[in-house]
Structure 1
Amino acid sequence: MSRFASSPAPRTALDGIPAYVPKPPRPPARGTSYRLFLNENPFPPLPSVREAISRASDGSNHYPEIFPTRLAGALADKYDVPLDHVVTGPGSVGIYQQIGQAFLAPGDEVVYAWPSFEAYPIVTRMAGARPVEVRLRDHTHDLDALAAAVTPRTRAVLLCEPNNPTGTAVGRAAVEAFLDDIPDDVLVVLDEAYVEFSGTADAVDGVALHRERPNLITLRTFSKAYGLAAWRVGYGFASPAVAEALRKCAVPCGVGRIAEEAALFSLTVEDELRARVEEITKERDRLRDALVGQGLPVAQSRTNFLWLPLGAGADAFARELETHGLLTRSFPGDGVRVTVGGREANDLLLSVAPAAARVPDPS
C-alpha cells in the first residue's frame, strides 16, 4: 500500500467554496474576441505611468517594502487623513482577506446584498462565518432590508457603492442614514471600487464618512479607473485600531515595488485620469441610450459597466454574444454585466444585441 494513499484534509469551512474565478467565457474558434467580463479599463496605463513602470522594473531584483510606506504617505496627503488610517493590499480583494482574518470567526454572520461583489461569499465562508444575503430591489441595494438583517450575531456588513454587478448607486444621504442604523460594534465595509465613475453630486464620499465612524472601512482601488488591474493595488481608510488589525494580517510585501511606483505616479497625473474617465463614462452613456433605444432593459449605471436584467434569458444572451467574440459576465437567472470596452467592441455589441436578446433560453 502506498504511503501516499491519503492526504491532509483541508478545513471543512472550505467545503463548497468556489475558487475566485469568474465563469470562464468560451471565446469563438476564430476572429477577434473582446474581454467585456472583468470590468477592466479598455485603455492601457497612462503613457507617463508606463514610463514610470519601465523605470521601476530596473529594481526588480529587490524586495519591496513590507508595507508600501511611500504610497501610504501619498494617499494620506491626497485625502488629508492621518497615515495610521491607511491600509493597502494586493487589490481590494487582498484587503477583504485581511478583514476576514482580522474580524471574522466561525459562527459570525456577514450581511451583504445579492447579487453583489462575488468575493463576498468566498471571504465570508473562508473565515467560517455565515453569509446572510439580501436580494436587491429594482437592481439596487435595499438598505432597509439590509439593516433589518443585522442581528446580534452580525459581525460585518459589506456594501458595494456603486454596486457590482448592477452599476447602481443609492447615494450619500441613503448610505449615511443606513450607517446610522448599524450598531457601532458591527464592522461596515464600504467598497468604492468604481467611485471615479460615479460623477454625481450626491455620490458617497467614504473617505469623509470614515472620519466620523470608527466602525467603517472605506475601500478603493487602482485597478479600474487608473487602469492598473494587473499590478494589484488596493487601498482603504479606517480608524487606527481597525487599520492596525488589518496591517497585522496583510501579506508582507503584498504591494510590489513596480506596482507601488505605478500607483504613486498615477496620483500625480489626475488631469489625465479625469479625461480618461470622462471618455469612458460618455461611452457608457452612449451604449446605454442605444441599448435602451433597441428595447433592451439596462439599469442606470454609475460605473464602467452596464447591467442588463434579463432574468431567465441572461445565459442565452451571453452565449449568443460569445459567438460574435463579445465575452461578457452572465449571472444566471438575474442578468448580464457588460464592461464598457473600446469603440470597436461597443459598436459590435450594439449591432448584435437585439438579435441576441431574442435567442430563446434552451432550458
Structure 2
Amino acid sequence: MVSPRPAVEALPAYRPGRNPADLAREIGVDRAIKLASNEVAFPPLPAVVQAVTAAAGETNRYPDNGAAVLTAALAERYGVDPGQIASGCGAVTLCQELAQAYSEPGTSIAFAWRSFEMYPLLARVAGARPVQVPLVPGRDGGPADTHDLDGLLAAIDDTTRLVFVCNPNNPTGTAVRRGELERFLDAVPATTLVVLDEAYREFVSDGDVPDGVELMRGRDNVAVLRTFSKAWGLAGLRVGYLIAEDPAVAEAVRKTHVPFSVSMLAQAAAVAALASEDEVRRRCAAVVAERARLTGELRERGLDVADSQANFVWLPVGEQAAPLAEALEARAVITRPFPGEGVRVTVGAPEEDDAFLAALDAVRDDVRVAVRPA
C-alpha cells in the first residue's frame, strides 16, 4: 500500500463553509443564508461580468503565466516595480508558495493563534515546525482575540524563516496598530521574512491600522499579501497577489508557482475590478456601516463583540461555539464555528443579518450563550 508522508497523513481536511442550497434541501426550506466564508453579498461588478464574458471566448488557450497585464496594473496602483509582485490562485496559494520557497525540515514558521487556519497546515506540508503564539486580550477584561507581537517576537529563533501576521486577524477581526507593528518589524531579524496577510485590508476603518504596503517600504524582509476574493468580489475566480520590498522574494514565490494556476478569466476579472475601484470603495463603505449595525445589535444582546476591522464579527462563546452554530443551521443560517473558541459571522446584506439575529434570538436560551454583565 502506498502511503503519504506521515505529516500529510496526520493533517485535518480543510472544511469550507456549507453550501446553502444543500442545507436548504436538508432542512426543507426555500432558502438558507450563508454567513460563513466572508464573501461579499454584492453581485459581481458589471465591468467584471463584461470582462469575463469577453475572455471566455479565448479559453481554448493557456492564460498568461506571468499575468503581465494584471501585474502592471497592480504595480501602477501601488507605485512599485512589476518585479516586486507575484500573483497566485488566491492568497492562500501564495502562502503555500512562500512556505515552499523558504522552509524545509529543521526550520519553523511562526504565527498567532488562533489565526488563519491554513498557517499550521502549510507549515507541516513544507516540512517546517509550526510555532503558535497565543492571542491576548485586546481590551481590559476581554477575551483573547489580538496578536501578541511581543510574544511573537520572542518566539523567533535561528530556525524561523517566516512569520505570518494576519492583520486584520481572521477569525477574530481585531487589528494591530501602527506603532506596535512598526516596532515589531524593526526588531525582527533580517534573516526572517515577515508576511503581512491583509486579505481584509479594504474593510479597515480605524485610521491607526496601517497599510502594510507603506510599512513594507524600506524593509527588505517584509512582504504583503492581498486578495481579490473579499472586497473585490472574486471569490469564485481565485486570484491573489504578493508585494515584496525585495524583488528576490517575489522571484522566489514565482519559482514555486504552479504554472497557469491564475486562470485567464481570473486575470481579466481582476484587471476589470481594479478599474472599478470607486464602486468597490462604495461597497466596502456599505459593509463597514452594516458591520457597525450588526456589532451594535449583538452588544445590545449582551454578547462580548470586539470592534472588527474585517467583513465579519467574532462571537467568543467558547464551548458553546459548535452547539450555537448547529442550532443556527437548523434555522437556515450558516456561520463558521471554531469549536471551543467562538463563531465567526460574515457581515451579509441587512436582510441576511436580520435573519441571523432572529435565529440567534430564537436559539440562544436553548444553547445558553454566555453574555457579558451589564
TM range (shorter): over 0.9
Decide which of 348, 356, 361 is 1:354's aligned counterpart: 361
Once the two structures are superposed, the pairs formed by residues 137-156 of structure 1 within 5 Å of their partners are 137-138=136-137, 139-156=145-162
Relative to 1, partners in 2 of residues 1:172 and 1:223: Cα closer, same or farther, differing over 3 Å?
A: same
Whether 2:282 is the aligned partner of 1:275: answer yes
Query: What are the ranges of 5 or more consecutive residues in structure 1 without an aligned counterpart?
Result: 1-5
- Aligned counterpart, 2:140: none
Q: Secondary structure at the match of 2:48?
A: helix
> 1:346 Cα shift?
0.5
CA distance in 2, matches of 1:355, 1:295: 15
- Aligned counterpart, 2:15: 21
* Superimposed CA distance per residue, residues 226-262 of structure 1 (whole angstroms, 9 cap, x where no aligned partner): 0000111100111111111110110111211111010
Once the two structures are superposed, the pairs formed by residues 72-83 of structure 1 within 5 Å of their partners are 72-83=71-82
> 1:361 Cα shift?
7.0
- Bigger shift: residues 8-17 or 171-180: 8-17
> 1:290 Cα shift?
0.7
> 1:354 Cα shift?
3.2
Whether 2:208 is the aligned partner of 1:202: answer yes
**8 Å CA contact retained: 1:114, 1:136:** yes
Once the two structures are superposed, the pairs formed by residues 243-282 of structure 1 within 5 Å of their partners are 243-282=250-289
CA distance in 1, matches of 2:150, 2:362: 38
CA distance in 1, matches of 2:156, 2:43: 41
CA distance in 1, matches of 2:288, 2:274: 20
> 1:20 Cα shift?
2.4
* Superimposed CA distance per residue, residues 282-339 of structure 1 (whole angstroms, 9 cap, x where no aligned partner): 1111001011011112121000000000011111111111111110111111100000
**8 Å CA contact retained: 1:316, 1:359:** no
> 1:23 Cα shift?
6.6
Q: How many residues align?
A: 356
**8 Å CA contact retained: 1:317, 1:359:** no
CA distance in 1, matches of 2:208, 2:368: 39
- Aligned counterpart, 1:85: 84
**8 Å CA contact retained: 1:312, 1:361:** no
Q: Secondary structure at the match of 1:131?
A: strand
- Bigger shift: residues 329-338 or 310-319: 310-319
Q: Which amino acid aligns with 1:233?
A: V
Q: Give the root-mean-square deviation of aligned CA atoms.
A: 1.6
CA distance in 2, matches of 1:353, 1:9: 44
- Aligned counterpart, 1:97: 96
Q: Secondary structure at the match of 1:59?
A: coil
Percent identity over paired residues:
47
Q: Which amino acid aligns with 2:5?
A: R
Q: Which amino acid aligns with 1:331?
A: F
Q: Which amino acid aligns with 1:30?
A: G
Query: What are the ranges of 5 or more consecutive residues in structure 2 without an aligned counterpart?
Result: 138-144, 370-374
Relative to 1, partners in 2 of residues 1:23 and 1:264: Cα closer, same or farther, differing over 3 Å?
A: closer
CA distance in 1, matches of 2:86, 2:47: 26
**8 Å CA contact retained: 1:288, 1:298:** yes
- Aligned counterpart, 2:57: 58
* Superimposed CA distance per residue, residues 173-211 of structure 1 (whole angstroms, 9 cap, x where no aligned partner): 211111122111011111000000002211221112222
- Bigger shift: residues 12-21 or 270-279: 12-21
Normalising by structure 2, what TM-score?
Answer: 0.92
- Aligned counterpart, 1:297: 304
